[in-house]
Amino acid sequence: MQPGQKLIAGLSGLCRAYGAILFAESPWVGCCCLLATFWFPNAGGAGLLAAVTAMATARLLNFPNRDSGLYVYNSLLVGLSLGAFYQLDLHLAVLVMLGAVLAVFVSVAMADITWRFGKLPALSLPFVVVALTVTLAAHSYGTLSRYLLPLAPNDGLISPFVDQFLTALGSIYFIPHPVAGLLLFIAIVISSRYIALLAIAGFLCGFSTYAFLSGSPHQDLVAWNGFNFVLVAVAIGGLFTLPGIQSFLLAMAGSVMAALVTAATETFMLVYGLPVMALPFLITTLTILLALNRRPISSGLQLTLDRPMLPEKSAEQARLAIARHGEFGSVALLPPFYGRWHIYQGFNGRHTHQPPWQHALDFHIVEGDKSYRTNGGSLEDFYCFGLPVLSPVAGFVVSTLDTLPDNPPGQVDMVNNWGNHVLIRMYNGLYVLLAHLKQGSVAVEIGATIYPGHIIAQCGSSGRSPQPHLHLHVQWGAALGGATHPFHLTTVLHQSLSQSDTARFALFVRPEMGDWVMLPRVEPTLLDSLKLGVGSQLSYQVTINGFSFKRTLHVILTLDGQLRLQSDSGASAAFVLQENLLAFYQREGPADLFLDCWLLALGLTPFAEGELAWCDQPDMKLLPMRWPQRLTAMLLLPLGGGIDSSYQRHWQEDYWLQQGAHVVKLPLNRPIAATTEVHIQPGLGCRLLRLSSDVVSLEARLSQIGQQADAGIPAWKEQKS
């Protein structure tokens, strides 16, 4: 890395450290926070000295991700806290630097301890430990001079309540002044409108509770400690849970509890002459998160402790995940058979699928409203009897039975309900049961490792089975017939009896009685045509509203192993390429209409053969809008929204024609619509791409394909137009 690049990276990391205190990611937001700290230059200078010292320490000791601000913001807070109480001179500078170095080590150690203990973030716990340590030490140093913070204006900035809120925001950085708080609030709004909403609502709830319980709270106590209400609401409602009604209400409840904890810690800490700092925030937030982390994985309120991000981003990813993979905690299973099967009994079926076995599916084959040939007098007359049963998951076999006889049609074995079966333990600790198998047909042994699609037995009629069928469920524990767990079928063709006569491809299906499901066959030529390998380059001649120019897409592999399609503008999107589909997600970078058009048209593309229809719900930011529509969406949908996208594909002469219809319904506005069209040519890929809407008309024609050079791989290009 060049010296100039190192300097830019260092400054960016420094600014991110300032922004990290407010859970912001952008260095520009952090820069705004840095400026706010210099409203009181004494505190701002001490904080900057601590931050630079921490960065140098992390770099000297070669800690990973040292430019991310991870090891800096706790040291920064230590410096700001000392600068808020003592005059910045040589003696304080030495203490600030010592405290900053100590905070780096404590941050690394505590981050490891809290994660091992309860998979919890350390937050500002290292800062509180170090700040209290150096504050106690400072009491015995006679060389330090007290610093008196300038008073806030007597006439107020906006209104008493707003000034208190802004002053509390400023106190997060030990700058209790409404002007500094206003700068910080602007930074919050730039970073996340939803976090700004949480900050206001959290302060309102916490302050109201605090004022109600204390009668007439002293202004200085609210100014110095009221930020705890804000941070609790932001952390619980915006960073460490998926945003929604549940998380918002929990965040408000957390702010109310923080008011109680604040009053208690004030009383305790004043005895020793110590500031409360962020103790109420830490006690409240970590307690709530630890309690939530002890719930079952399928619980409604979802935590994001392993990868916290801004609420707008987490909402976008969750919305796409739910649209593609269904509810959280549901286990994805492949169909355990070949061909087209009928749902004999679905979830909560009236016959046998009742609690605690309500999450289960029964399959059989029906032709012309009958499940058998001739008169159905023998088992061999039933279409599904003796057909292969496949493993729907990867795992290992923990239990088998195949010695029970198959029941004659109309009879059941009430003693051995499950009949012949195979029980598979998945790698997530849950179990899959396939039951009513044919006598003597089990083809796997206990302890065997199996994979999806592995033939394990044949469909039979053993156990409580009046006619041949296959029973499937996911359960807790290895005991036969344990309580069931929600699951769904994935990558299937689904034909619903109640909605449509057309089968649709879906990644999440929980079929009902009377529906049909089928494992689609993969079209290898289509897969080969859209195979995006690392280093691949696609150049297009793009025309937007009559203006033409050349654009290029190329495939990169990130350090963490993520495949991304990146345009020449720097915008990119991650994707997964499997044998049965291509799926894009996590759009990042600057505005790029061409890349957005690609993602709309090909964002979810299954490789199933034949005519096909399916749905998706990409983020609404991909859809071109006029500025009033964009502004309306920003104001009324702070967490964004999804596009209702419907696709269909069929073969046409020498290419696959894939068409999409995309609609967004904004509150108080008429729907915003667009259509896309893709021509996928065998062996070539996406040769033509079109988008049409009221806002824009785009057409892109493939002009060149190529490969970037790599070790042992020469670069090449081939013209296609």
Q: What is the structure's pLDDT at 268?
A: 85
Q: What is the structure's pLDDT at 514?
A: 87
Q: Which helix (H) or strand (E) holds 426?
A: strand 420-426
Q: What global pTM score does this model have? A: 0.81
Amino acid identity of 251?
A
Q: What is the structure's pLDDT at 668?
A: 73
Are 637 and 666 a contacting pair, CB within 8 Å? yes
What residues are paired with 675 via a beta bridge? 661, 692
Q: What is the structure's pLDDT at 16?
A: 84
What residues are paired with 342 via a beta bridge? 364, 516
Amino acid identity of 536?
S
* 3-class SS letters over 233-271: HHHHHHHCECCCHHHHHHHHHHHHHHHHHHHHHHHHHHH
**pLDDT tier for residue 364 given thresholds of 50, 70 and 90:** very high
Are 649 and 657 a contacting pair, CB within 8 Å? yes
Give the tens place of pLDDT for each residue, 499-512: 556 789 999 989 98
- Tell me how many degrees the CA angle 487-493-498 measures, rounded to the nearest 5: 80
318 pLDDT more than 90: no
155 pLDDT more than 70: no
Token look-up 């999804």 returns: 642
153 pLDDT more than 80: no
Q: Summarize the confidence of residues 146-173 as an average pLDDT.
A: 77
Give the tens place of pLDDT for each residue, 8-20: 777 887 888 888 8
Query: How far is the C-alpha of 262 from the C-alpha of 272, rounded, in Å?
Result: 16
3-state secondary structure of 635: helix
Distant-in-sequence, close-in-space partners of 63: CB < 8 Å, separation ≥ 6: 71, 104, 108
Query: How far is the C-alpha of 332 from the C-alpha of 580, rounded, in Å?
Result: 15
Q: Summarize the confidence of residues 275-298 as an average pLDDT.
A: 86
423 pLDDT more than 60: yes
**pLDDT tier for residue 287 given thresholds of 50, 70 and 90:** very high
Q: Which helix (H) or strand (E) holds 418?
A: none
62 pLDDT more than 90: no
Cα dihedral 622, 626, 632, 635 sign: positive
**pLDDT tier for residue 67 given thresholds of 50, 70 and 90:** low
Superfamily of domain 1-154: Ammonium transporter AmtB like domains (1.10.3430.10)
629 pLDDT more than 90: no
Q: What is the structure's pLDDT at 322?
A: 84
136 pLDDT more than 90: no
- Name the CATH architecture for the domain at 331-518: Distorted Sandwich (2.70)
Tell me which of 147-156, 466-475, 567-576, 653-662 is least confident: 147-156
Q: Summarize the confidence of residues 428-446 as an average pLDDT.
A: 95
Are 606 and 505 a contacting pair, CB within 8 Å? yes
Q: Between 148 and 280, where is the model more confident?
A: 280
Q: What is the structure's pLDDT at 453?
A: 92
Q: Summarize the confidence of residues 247-261 as an average pLDDT.
A: 94
Token look-up 């930011």 returns: 621
Are 585 and 642 a contacting pair, CB within 8 Å? no
Give the tens place of pLDDT for each residue, 653-684: 889 999 999 999 887 778 899 999 999 999 88
Q: What is the structure's pLDDT at 65?
A: 64
686 pLDDT more than 70: yes
Backbone angles phi, psi at 291, to 5 degrees: -65, -45
Measured from the Cβ of residue 348, the count of other Cβ atoms closer than 10 Å reads 14
Tell me which of 150-164, 165-179, 379-393 is least confident: 150-164
430 pLDDT more than 90: yes
715 pLDDT more than 80: no
218 pLDDT more than 80: no
What is the residue extent of each domain of the chain?
A: 1-154, 331-518, 525-719
3-state secondary structure of 351: coil
Backbone angles phi, psi at 711, to 5 degrees: -60, 115
Are 426 and 394 a contacting pair, CB within 8 Å? yes
Q: What is the structure's pLDDT at 137?
A: 84
3-state secondary structure of 211: helix
What residues are paired with 339 via a beta bridge? none
Q: Between 512 and 470, where is the model more confident?
A: 470
371 pLDDT more than 70: yes
Q: Summarize the confidence of residues 566-577 as an average pLDDT.
A: 94
**pLDDT tier for residue 152 given thresholds of 50, 70 and 90:** low
Decide if 1-154 and 331-518 have a common fold. Answer: no
Tell me which of 264-278, 341-355, 462-476, 655-669 is least confident: 264-278
Chain centroid to CA 208: how far? 33
**pLDDT tier for residue 702 given thresholds of 50, 70 and 90:** very high
